[in-house]
Amino acid sequence: MMQWIEEEQEVETWTVNPEVPASTLSKEDKEPAIDSSAEKMVHIVTLAEQESALSETLNQIGVSGYMLCDVRVDKCYSLEDEQLRGQKSIMFRVVVPKDMFGYLLKQLNQYIENGNQLIVISSDVEVMIPSNLG
């Protein structure tokens, strides 16, 4: 069972039925309903006051869209990140093609070298895009 909990105690719960054997699925049921591609997901945590500057940097390097949310930094990865604890912080969630990932990291490193505080976490992801959107 999985749960998604939002503010104000809104909870959504869902389960996967493990009792449906794969052998009962038709060929069409086994095929993916939507296309997917391997990409990189990058989470960038920074002080809220840096939102416009980082947004501009992302736009300049060709990031076409991102998710942005408020976050609370509780545990820090290094002494430099300690500035983020207790401050109003935000997190950008960016998904980029793997061939753009190195360039994005280079630009984020430049951002850090200019004295900005960032926590950057990346992972490989499969991005599923419904065929009517692609």
CA distance 89 to 76: 13
CA distance 83 to 73: 10
Percent of the chain at pLDDT > 70 equals 59
Domain boundaries, the chain: 34-129
- Which CATH architecture is the domain 34-129 placed in? 2-Layer Sandwich (3.30)
CA distance 111 to 102: 14
For the residues 123-133, what does the mean pLDDT come to?
69
Using one digit for the tens of pLDDT, what is the confidence trace for 44-69? 998 899 999 999 989 988 887 899 99
Q: What is the mean pLDDT of the chain?
A: 76
Asked if pLDDT for residue 127 goes beyond 60, the answer is: yes
Using one digit for the tens of pLDDT, what is the confidence trace for 4-30? 555 555 555 555 556 656 566 666 655
